[in-house]
Amino acid sequence: NAGVTQTPKFRVLKTGQSMTLLCAQDMNHEYMYWYRQDPGMGLRLIHYSVGEGTTAKGEVPDGYNVSRLKKQNFLLGLESAAPSQTSVYFCASSYERTNEQYFGPGTRLTVT
Amino acid sequence: GIQVEQSPPDLILQEGANSTLRCNFSDSVNNLQWFHQNPWGQLINLFYIPSGTKQNGRLSATTVATERYSLLYISSSQTTDSGVYFCAVSFRIKAAGNKLTFGGGTRVLVKP
């Protein structure tokens, strides 16, 4: 039981490049989330999903897109990376909205 | 507005000391979690505690939902307790959306 996994762990992009971050969970959770953490701050919600095939915007969605084609996977895409998107990205999942959220190990992204 | 405030922002402890971290929240919650972010950036779930008291080894937590605060107790601190402790809540009100709102964290340094 791996819990929540994220790939890649680290990535460096040039401004304007695109990439996709993959989150996978093996706990059969309905809800999945993408957060970002900027230096010295707590996490902020980017997008979330309440089930396969559904996505919704969070607190800071601009510049990101997401897809949830399979229940166990939640993808976060950056179409045209900007230096302001330099951050650590965390994926999380939970069984329901009010249940405990479990977090992945994070992806450190640097945009130059 | 809805918010989560943690105190103190920084804490320096001598190994073996006890400490209390506080989390105040501005509205009714249906989820409250405590996390430890270690120096490598990993977010470790400590407690899922929307109300009541829980204990896990040297750590314990109490949430008094009616008074809108939660406390995290660290007893007999060890150097491995160093890192940032986050409180995160999911507010009941619909306007808060489907997310965990994180406090600013308490940075703890335990000296040998």
Three-state SS letters, B82-103: CEEEEEEEEECCHHHCCCCEEC
pLDDT at site B98: 63
Nearest CB partner across the interface for A102, out of B30, B45, B103:
B45
pLDDT at site B90: 87
Please give the average per-residue pLDDT across A69-93, as a whole number.
Answer: 96
Q: How confident is the model at residue A37 (pLDDT cuts 50, 70, 90)?
A: very high
pLDDT at site B19: 97
Which of A106, A102, A112, A107 is CA-nearest to residue A26?
A102
Tell me the C-alpha distance between A65 and A55, whole Å: 9
Residues of chain A numbered 32-51 and touching chain B (CB < 8 Å): 33, 35, 41-45, 48, 50
Q: How confident is the model at residue A33 (pLDDT cuts 50, 70, 90)?
A: very high
Tokens found for residue B32: 């409250």
pLDDT in tens, B16-34: 999 999 999 998 888 999 9
Share of residues in chain A with pLDDT > 70 (%): 99
**In chain A, which residue's Cα lies nearest the Cα of B100?**
A45
Q: Does A101 lie at the interface with B, CB-CB under 8 angstroms?
A: yes
**Whether pLDDT at A1 is above 80:** no
Place of tokens 């409180």: B87
Tell me the C-alpha distance between B8 and B89, whole Å: 18
Chain B residues with a Cβ under 8 Å from any Cβ in chain A = 30-31, 33, 35, 41-43, 45, 48, 50, 86, 88, 90, 97-100, 102-105
For β-strands A31-37 and A87-94, DSSP reports them as: antiparallel
The answer to whether B86 contacts A45, with C-beta atoms less than 8 Å apart, is no
The answer to whether A42 contacts B48, with C-beta atoms less than 8 Å apart, is no
Q: In what helix (H) or strand (E) does residue B72 lie, and over which residues does it extend? A: strand B69-74
Contact status, residue A75 vs residue A21, Cβ threshold 8 Å: yes
Q: Does A64 lie at the interface with B, CB-CB under 8 angstroms?
A: no
- Please indicate whether residue A103 or residue A97 has the higher confidence score (pLDDT): A103
Tell me the C-alpha distance between A2 and B53, whole Å: 28
Residues of A in contact with B90 (CB under 8 A): 97-98
Q: How confident is the model at residue A99 (pLDDT cuts 50, 70, 90)?
A: confident
pLDDT less than 50: residues of chain B? none
The answer to whether A103 contacts B30, with C-beta atoms less than 8 Å apart, is no
Spell out where chain A has E strands: 4-7, 10-13, 19-25, 31-37, 43-49, 56-57, 64-67, 73-78, 87-94, 102-103, 107-111
Which of B5, B86, B53, B31 is CA-nearest to residue A90?
B86
pLDDT in tens, A2-13: 799 999 999 999
Which of B56, B103, B105 is CA-nearest to residue B82?
B105
Alpha helices in chain B (DSSP H): none
Contact status, residue A22 vs residue A107, Cβ threshold 8 Å: no
Q: How confident is the model at residue A44 (pLDDT cuts 50, 70, 90)?
A: very high
Tell me the C-alpha distance between B105 and B10, whole Å: 9
pLDDT at site A69: 95
For β-strands A10-13 and A107-111, DSSP reports them as: parallel
* pLDDT, chain A, mean: 94
Chain B nearest-CA distance from A80, in A, is 26
Which of these ranges, A17-21, A94-98, B12-16, B75-79, has the smallest mean pLDDT? A94-98
